[in-house]
Chain A
Amino acid sequence: MVVRKGRPDPAARAGAVLQVLAGRPVAEICGEHRIGEAEFGRWREEFFTEHGPRIEAAISSRPAAGRGELASLFTVPGKRAETLRVAQEMIEVLPIPVFFKSRDGKYLGVNKAWEAFFGVPRSEFVGKAVHDLYPQSPAVADKHYAMDQELWRNPGSQSYEIPVVTRAGHIRHTIYYKATFKEADGEVVGLIGTIIDITQRKEAEQGQSIEYAITRLLAEAHTIEEAMPVVIRTLCEGLGYAYGARWVHEPKEHILRCVESWCENDPAVEAFREFSTRRIETRPESPGGLNRRVWVTGEPVWMPDVTLETKLQRSASAQKAGLRSAFGFPILVGGEFYGVMEFFAHTARPRDERVIEIAQTAGIQIGQFIARLQAEAALRDANDELARQAQELMRSNSELQQFAYVASHDLQEPLRMISSYTQLLLRRYGDHFDKEAREFMDYVVDGAARMKQLIEDILAYSRVGTRGREFKMVKSETALKKALVNLRAAIEADGATVTHDPLPEVEGDEVQLTQLFQNFIGNALKFKGAGAPRVHVSVAEVPRAWEFAVRDSGIGIDSQYFDRIFMVFQRLHSKGEYPGTGIGLAICKKVVDRHGGRIRVESQPGQGSTFFFTLPRNQGEVNGRS
């Protein structure tokens, strides 16, 4: 009701909105008595309205349907009244919620934004005190009341943070700003207030703090079992859930088993937790309760009210524990279903995408954590396997060395016996042998000599790997010159010319590099074409390596043999044509392999051959050197 001046009852100060007064019965505004004593006409009245303090208004009344009806109402022209009118209109259209309270703590009025914010019409506020408005949340009402009292004691302004619940049941985080207002005589007669909705910021902070807490927990944990109980608790407490659990899929048995759970300190919920986590979920034909539905659909499942869930087997026991809503979401590891996280809360909750998003983010973090652990375990296994193989390699290498030694000593000894005593026979009794016997003896001696050569060659071949020296910076020109010194006799005998470009310094085993040049040039001399042999050694830069080329003027090689010539004991010619066991290029290949390079040949029969080999410019980049 609009209250006329002089009425002492402050409770009667609540009333209708000024603007809607027009057209309503005068009696409703001014009281029956006024109709009786006043003729229809115009007069002045002073009101309190929900929009503010006293308003001076001019009333014009005329008869209608036998009753006095308010024809028009307007504020009296004047500075104060005009200010008030403008203020009221402004407040009404302000996009932020605003309210007025009288000195006794009752709502005088609210604006449109306020109605919209709470989803409650203003008629339900006006004339009510906070304790009438929040019967379900005495703590909220107490807080508002206490803050009002504080403001009456110390007039001025104040602000405080408080969560409020809208008609739809949503919790909004707000900051209340309130200030007192005074009469002209300085008496504090009421307060005006507004609220700022900080729900979004609050929720983002909450989401971030949950995400951060889980990130930290997972980063510090070494096992999933260590991390999960605290992760579940963090999610429960952060999102307002009383119980949470992790279920893991066991592919062999095709079941879901609860591995960790947490619940608040409440015997009833504890009982539900025990009942719930003892169960084993088997995969249903069709989506079933909570975590089985998550399992089958691979999607989050939200249950606003478990009393409505006919397929939830735990519905009755949840209700017994005072649990009303639930949700669950899947954990995927590397895209594969791994398990389910489920949560139960005391209150019924409409589907909340924000909660689902926070939970999903946590689910992704957990999935990545598990994937990381699995990758680490796989890496450990691989490392163990590698270590085992390295050990095996060392063992087989040392066996090979042993073999080389055995070959060098024990195989040669019987060979020496055969060869020496055959020779001794020839020496002492040669005169008694006929021509045929001598020929046979020659074959024995020759066979023993070739056998010895083979043994020595295979030894030399095996020693490339087992007797190699540490790599050092070597002038490849020095290695070439040493090879030429070793070959001097043959070079002079054949009248060969060996030329070379300036050669670089390389990292490698000088003895083996010398052997490399020696074998290539030795071959060039051995397989010489018509005329004096010519050999030229050049080098080119290729990405990350030097490519050496040894070009000769020899007989050349048919391209079908390009691969074969680098294999052990592979020969292209009979012993009668060219001597040798066929080890030289195999040793070259092994030396180049050991240096992390590549070897190849370009040749045409009759056109000479060019052997190419690369040596890495930086040996540090080469793996697996032996």
Chain B
Amino acid sequence: MADRDRAAPPVEILLVEDNPGDVRLTKEALKEGKVYNNLHWAKDGVEALEFLKRQGKHAKAPRPDIILLDLNLPKKDGREVLALIKKDSDLKQIPVVVLTTSEAEEDVLKSYELHANCYVTKPVDLEKFIHVVQSIDRFWLTVVTLPPNGN
């Protein structure tokens, strides 16, 4: 499949991540990627839900095409956010990529039980990290056909 045309609307990505260092790394990785995107950042679970439901300062937020979700978050952790998204008839179609440091088996199992679309462990090595983010980018945003975005 050909790269999306630059003229096409940008892909809306919601990154739910409490660590600004990781946010920045993700941004850098995406910057090196080929997909034209808007990266939105929610620093915790509560803000992620506000963004998705367009509440408060996120009243004008776009509906994301994909959600990158960390598991260990302040206020409302990633598992709860995942559960709420997948229970919501409107939001559940948005693919959720769990992107976390944890390699713990129970986190992997729990995430899939909550209908995560995939589970990815953040590599320590920068090269690998960039590779992973770009892989996600490439796979979910150019290979996979997603449901029509209701934006």
Contact = CB atoms under 8 A, between A and B. Distances in A.
A124 B2 CA distance: 143
A467 interface: yes
Contact of B126 (A405, A412, A427): A427
A153 to B, nearest CB: 101
B25 A408 contact: no
Given A405-B104, A420-B25, A413 B125 contact: no
Interface in B70-84: 72
B113 interface: no
A421 B21 contact: yes
Interface in A307-358: none
B124 A452 contact: yes
A452 B103 CA distance: 13
Given A413-B19, A424-B28, A419 B102 contact: no
Interface string B89-130: 000000000001111110000000000000000101111010
A130 interface: no
Contacts of B129: 416, 420
A280 interface: no
B102 A408 contact: yes
Of the four ranges (under 10, 10 to 19, 20 to 34, 35 or more), the interface on chain A belongs to 10 to 19
Given A409-B72, A449-B124, A420 B102 contact: no
Contacts of B21: 417, 420-421
Interface in A421-443: 421, 423-424, 427
Contacts of B100: 409
17 contacts: A405-B102, A405-B104, A408-B102, A408-B104, A409-B104, A410-B72, A415-B124, A416-B101, A416-B122, A416-B124, A417-B19, A417-B21, A419-B125, A423-B127, A424-B28, A424-B126, A467-B105
A449 B128 CA distance: 13
Interface of A: 405, 408-410, 412-413, 415-417, 419-421, 423-424, 427, 448-449, 452, 467
* Majority secondary structure of chain A interface residues (helix, strand, loop or mixed): helix
A408 B105 contact: no
B124 A448 contact: yes
Given A416-B22, A449-B125, 7 more contacts: A413-B101, A415-B124, A416-B122, A417-B19, A417-B22, A419-B125, A420-B25
A409 B126 contact: no
Contacts of B125: 419-420, 423, 449
Interface in B13-68: 19, 21-22, 25, 28
B124 A412 contact: yes
A282 to B, nearest CB: 69
B130 to A, nearest CB: 9
A424 B102 contact: no
Nearest to A452: B124
A409 B101 contact: yes
Nearest to A467: B105
Nearest to B102: A409
B101 A423 contact: no
A409 B100 CA distance: 8
A415 B122 CA distance: 12
Contacts of A408: 101-104
B25 A419 contact: no
A410 B74 CA distance: 13
Contacts of A421: 21, 25, 126
A405 B103 CA distance: 9
Q: B21, B22, B104, B126: which has the most chain A beta carbons within 10 Å?
A: B126
Interface in B111-151: 122, 124-127, 129
B109 to A, nearest CB: 12
Nearest to A427: B126
Contacts of A412: 101, 124
B33 to A, nearest CB: 15
B29 to A, nearest CB: 10
Contact of B25 (A405, A410, A424, A467): A424
A412 B100 CA distance: 11
A483 to B, nearest CB: 20
A420 B101 contact: no
Contacts of A416: 22, 101, 122, 124, 129
CB-CB nearest 4 A-B residue pairs: A423-B126, A420-B126, A417-B21, A409-B102
B106 to A, nearest CB: 9
Contacts of B72: 409-410
